Amino acid sequence: MTDLELDVRPILRNGGEPFGAIMGAVNSLLPGQRLKLFATFRPEPLFRVMEAKGFGFEATPLADGDWQVLFTPQAPDLVSGGSTPDNPDSWADPNHYLDLTDLDPPEPMVRILARLEDMDEGEVLFALLAREPLFLFPEIKARGHAWAGDFDASGTAYRLMVRAGRQT
Amino acid sequence: MGSTSRWTLAFFGCALACLVGALGLMSAGLAYPHAALMAPQTLIMVHLVAIGWLTLLMLGALLQFLPVLVGGPLRAAGWAPLVLVLIVGGLALLLAGFAAMDGWPGLPAEILPLGGLLLLGGLGLAAFMLFATLFRARSLPLPAGFVALALLSVLVAALLGETLASAIAGLFGGDFAMAIVTHGVPLHAGFGLGGWLTLAAMGVSYRLVSMFLVAPERQGVLPRLAWWSGMAGLAALCTGFGVLLASNAPLPLALGVAALAGLVAVFAYAGDIAMLYRGRRRRALELHMGAAIAAFAALPISAVWLVLAAARESEAGLAAALYLLAFGWLGGLGLAMLYKIIPFLTWLECFAPFMGRKPVPRVQDLVREPRARAWFGLYFAGVALGAAMMQLALPPAVQVAAGLQLLACLLLIRQFYRARLLADLPADWHDFPRPRLLLPQQRSLL
């Protein structure tokens, strides 16, 4: 597969901001396709962004002081070192969804724990609740799962993500 | 964070014992209206209700639910048993002090302020735990604001009570002692029943009612109005207390302002509760929420009754209104919530570890509602009858009403006891190990 090439040097030389163009190019990549980027400097901040998106990189200085960077898509596990329970950013996308806003306690808790029993390690559950499930948290921890949650902007719904731990 | 408070059931147990004691005294005719409103026997009954029953109940509930209100752990949780010991011990000495006033032999008068001191210590410690929990919370929703005001009030009420006790015991004399004994009681009662118990009950119920009814929490003008007018009422009471301290003279205006602010707070709150019931997503009402309606209705009725009786200086009216406030609103709400909270805590204690792994009963399976429904009906009928008979000044009828309440309470306590023993669970669960009745499962005392 040929690399997609993007030269942002003209944008940079005109005093422009190439980030939008770069993201446009990244989003248009075919699965497995690499991105070859030309820039007037070594684009350090971009490396972290692209790492988070699952790309490895290789930066090479060109003769005239410009840089060429080759971004290569990585297999997910190689990039992040696997999802770690204490870092919710590294979790997989949720593949179980529960809307529990209409249930009275302790039913939301029962449903979440029952669902977790059927999940494999590393799978993530997303649940929507009417309030912060304070009695649930110790139970989640005791069973070796990890959770992250907060209220939505309006403060009316609590969003909970639970990453299933190793089943005992 | 969200685990259960280990001492809450011990608080509830002591509280219920005091309720039975107080109703027993009344039905035996050992308090108002047989004795005078300020007679030692009546004071024994009043403090058994206000401190023994209602304060211990509220503290037990707050230890459990304040962390839920603010989303943070209970601070200094290890002090809970000491709080309980101090309050129960202080109450026992206080009641013995009143008995000494009544002429019981062998009891020195100083026992009264000593009991007050222990109570002040216990309540101060409890307020410290709960304030520390509030201060280190991640967020302070409005219900927590009510609890904060209530905690300030309980401290003032206890200080005032201790001052009264010392004056009555003759530890200090002079014009101020005269003034505090003559004019301090309405302030003491206002801070205690209004500031402490009513505001705390409002705060906790805002969250519990929306939780149990699956209704969106109340926001906007009405709950804020309730909070600010509660605050204004307390400020008026504080002003009255300050004037009494400075001039040994009462300030009727302060009591009037407090009464008006209190009425605004009560009606704003009652409006909120009505909206919560109307906006609920669970159509069918469980028994505890059904029984609570009677308690919610008793609040505005007793508030208006109290203000009218105070304006007319009617002793029978004051007694009737306070009776409805204490047994209908505060006590009725307490009994209704216990009917849910005790099974809920028991369920968590017994079945939480099995959730999702094997079938667990529902919380509702721990109780049998039809039986208890009749007892709640009997209880509230007794309260209504008692208040009416007090207003009409018919002592024997008050005794009968108190007896009905006592019977209803004993039958309800039996239901709580059965829930604790898992006795009403379906047959599949009869062999399940039972939790300890009141004390936490643990090795050491603290």
Count how many Cα atoms sit within 13 Å of the Cα of residue A76 in the half-sphere of its side chain: 8
Q: What three-state secondary structure class fits A96? A: strand
- Which has more confidence, B359 or A48? B359
Residue bearing tokens 């699952």: A54
- How big, in percent rounded to 5, are the helix, strand and coil portions of chain B? 75, 0, 25
Residue bearing tokens 């004795």: B35
What's the rounded mean pLDDT across residues A27-48? 85
- B441 — pLDDT class (breaks 50, 70, 90): low
User: What's the confidence (pLDDT) of residue A12?
Assistant: 86
User: Is residue B63 a contact partner of residue B80, using CB atoms and an 8 Å limit?
Assistant: yes
Work out the percent of chain A whose per-residue pLDDT is above 90.
Answer: 19
User: What's the confidence (pLDDT) of residue B141?
Assistant: 85
Token pair for B208: 């519990």
CB-CB under 8 Å, B211 with A105: yes
Gap between the Cα atoms of B174 and B178, Å rounded: 7
CA distances from B325 to A166, B15, B138, B197, B306 (A): 54, 17, 34, 10, 9
Gap between the Cα atoms of B72 and B265, Å rounded: 28
Gap between the Cα atoms of B327 and B316, Å rounded: 16
What's the maximum distance between 2 C-alpha atoms anywhere in chain B? 71
Token pair for A35: 């991105």
Q: Which residues of A touch B67 (CB under 8 A)?
A: 134
Q: Measured between CB atoms, does A164 come within 8 Å of chain B? A: no
In this predicted structure, the answer to whether residue B439 has a pLDDT above a threshold of 90 is no
**ipTM of the complex in this document:** 0.75
What's the rounded mean pLDDT across residues B268-275? 96
pLDDT digits 0-9 by tens, A129-154: 888 888 888 888 888 899 988 888 77
CB-CB under 8 Å, B352 with A135: yes
Q: What three-state secondary structure class fits B230? A: helix
- A13 — pLDDT class (breaks 50, 70, 90): confident
Measure B225 CA to nearest chain A CA, in Å.
21
User: What's the confidence (pLDDT) of residue A88?
Assistant: 82
Task: Please state the three-class secondary structure of B412-428 as a single string.
Answer: HHHHHHHHHCCCCCCHH
- A/B interface, count of CB pairs below 8 Å: 58
pLDDT, chain B, mean: 92
Best of A102, A139, A143, A152 to disrupt the B interface (most B CBs within 10 Å) is A139
Stretch 346-365 of chain B: residues touching chain A, C-beta under 8 Å: 347-348, 352-353, 355-357, 360, 363
Gap between the Cα atoms of B349 and B339, Å rounded: 16
In this predicted structure, the answer to whether residue B322 has a pLDDT above a threshold of 60 is yes
The total of other beta-carbon atoms located within 10 Å of residue A28's CB is: 11
User: Is residue B154 a contact partner of residue B127, using CB atoms and an 8 Å limit?
Assistant: yes
Strand partners, A58: A70
Measure A6 CA to nearest chain B CA, in Å.
47
Gap between the Cα atoms of B373 and B290, Å rounded: 9
User: What's the confidence (pLDDT) of residue B119?
Assistant: 97
pLDDT digits 0-9 by tens, B326-354: 999 999 999 999 999 999 999 988 888 88
pLDDT, chain A, mean: 84
User: Is residue B279 a contact partner of residue B350, using CB atoms and an 8 Å limit?
Assistant: no
User: What's the confidence (pLDDT) of residue A168?
Assistant: 62
What's the rounded mean pLDDT across residues A70-94? 70
pLDDT digits 0-9 by tens, B359-381: 889 888 999 999 999 999 999 99
User: What's the confidence (pLDDT) of residue A54?
Assistant: 77
DSSP state of A93: P
In this predicted structure, the answer to whether residue A79 has a pLDDT above a threshold of 50 is no
Gap between the Cα atoms of B51 and B17, Å rounded: 12
